[in-house]
Amino acid sequence: MNDRTMNDRTMKAVLLDRFGGPEVLYVGRVPRPEPAPGEVLVRVHAFSVNRGEMAARSGRAQLLTGRKFPQRSGQDFAGEVAGLGTGTTGVTVGDRVWGIVGRSAFRSAAEYVTVRPQRLGRVPDGLDLVAAAALPATGTTAVTALRDKAALRPGERLLVRGAAGGVGSAVVQLGKAYGAQVTGLARAANLDFVRTLGAHHAIDHRTVSPAELGPFDVVVDTAGTDLRTFRRLLNPGGRMVALALDMYSAVPNWRAPCTPRSTR
């Protein structure tokens, strides 16, 4: 078998042979996947790194990843449809798409990936594929938190903990787009960035106590600490959505007890 045949059957991928920091990652070669019936083959142009990848790489997610090496990395991706398995519908070769391989799978940091079409979306015209790769997990989490869980309404006061992070920065922008009055908590070095996202107020969380912040109609928490303290900042009928690294799923969202008094 010559080198050309070998390269046609393999691809580059990000691998790790032990748990640790970023230094354990390297580029190696793995078998190139072929789309099974009902699957899509995507040529990956870009992938992103989220908290899930860091947990897997460090060894904190061994319940999902196991301890067998080498292991793969990456969940989010953006690219171009390169092939279709038999019976696959809804996409066409050449479509620009973004997606996520799965909540407990790590393999998008590679030249190609296979997924079900339900895990894909078409990248909007004018959006760069590198920028698109940063959105699948963070963007869908932000939309779910604000639209589906909190049902954020125009004019409501929204507090975002971790406003400079991946999900937090998306929540700030969506909150502003939904017409909310947005307050973002972040480190001092990131406050200007949070303001550029559209936050009406950007506050250093280390210099202001929670008691000085409220009240709010909605709190979105990406820190996962002191949840009871921040829950107390809610107006009657307020909603709190807490997002924490708990098997990559959201902590059940809190809802403040409703009272006859108006929340307005």
Give the sheet arrangement for strand 25-31, strand by strand.
25-31, 10-16, 71-72
Q: Does 263 fall in a domain?
A: no
Question: Could you tell me if 165 and 208 lie in one domain?
Answer: yes
Sign of CA dihedral 156, 157, 160, 161: negative
Residue 192 reports pLDDT greater than 60: yes
Number of domains in the chain: 2
pLDDT digits (tens, 9 = 90+) for 129-183: 999 999 998 999 999 999 999 999 999 999 999 999 999 999 999 999 999 999 9
User: What CATH number does the domain containing 108 carry?
Assistant: 3.90.180.10
User: What CATH number does the domain containing 225 carry?
Assistant: 3.40.50.720
Between strands 201-204 and 181-186, the pairing is parallel
Question: Could you tell me if 58 and 149 lie in one domain?
Answer: no
Amino acid at 98: W
Model pTM score: 0.79
pLDDT digits (tens, 9 = 90+) for 51-84: 888 889 999 888 888 999 999 999 999 999 999 9
Q: Which of 82, 104, 134 is the last residue of a domain?
A: 134
DSSP string covering 8-43: HHEEEEEEESS-SSGGGEEEEEEEPP-PPTT-EEEE
Residue 118: band (very low, low, confident or very high) from pLDDT cuts 50, 70, 90: very high
Q: Which of 91, 114, 134 is the last residue of a domain?
A: 134
Q: Considering only CA atoms, which of 47, 49, 48, 44 is closest in space to residue 111?
A: 44
Question: Could you tell me if 187 and 226 lie in one domain?
Answer: yes
Cis peptide before 31 (omega within 30 of 0): no
Across the chain, mean pLDDT equals 89
- The pLDDT assigned to 1 comes to 43
The torsion angles phi and psi of 130, rounded to 5 degrees, stand at -65, -45
Task: Give strand pairing partners of 110.
Answer: 13
Residues composing the chain: 264
Q: Which structure tokens are listed for 77?
A: 């991706």
Burial of 148 from C-beta contacts in 10 A (0-12 / 13-18 / 19+): exposed
Q: Does 164 fall in a domain?
A: yes
Question: Could you tell me if 156 and 111 lie in one domain?
Answer: no
Number of C-beta neighbours around residue 230 at 10 A: 23
Question: Could you tell me if 191 and 207 lie in one domain?
Answer: yes
Spell out the residues 6+ positions from residue 226 whose beta carbon is closer than 8 angstroms to its own.
Answer: 210
Determine the structural domain holding residue 128 and report its residue range. Answer: 3-134
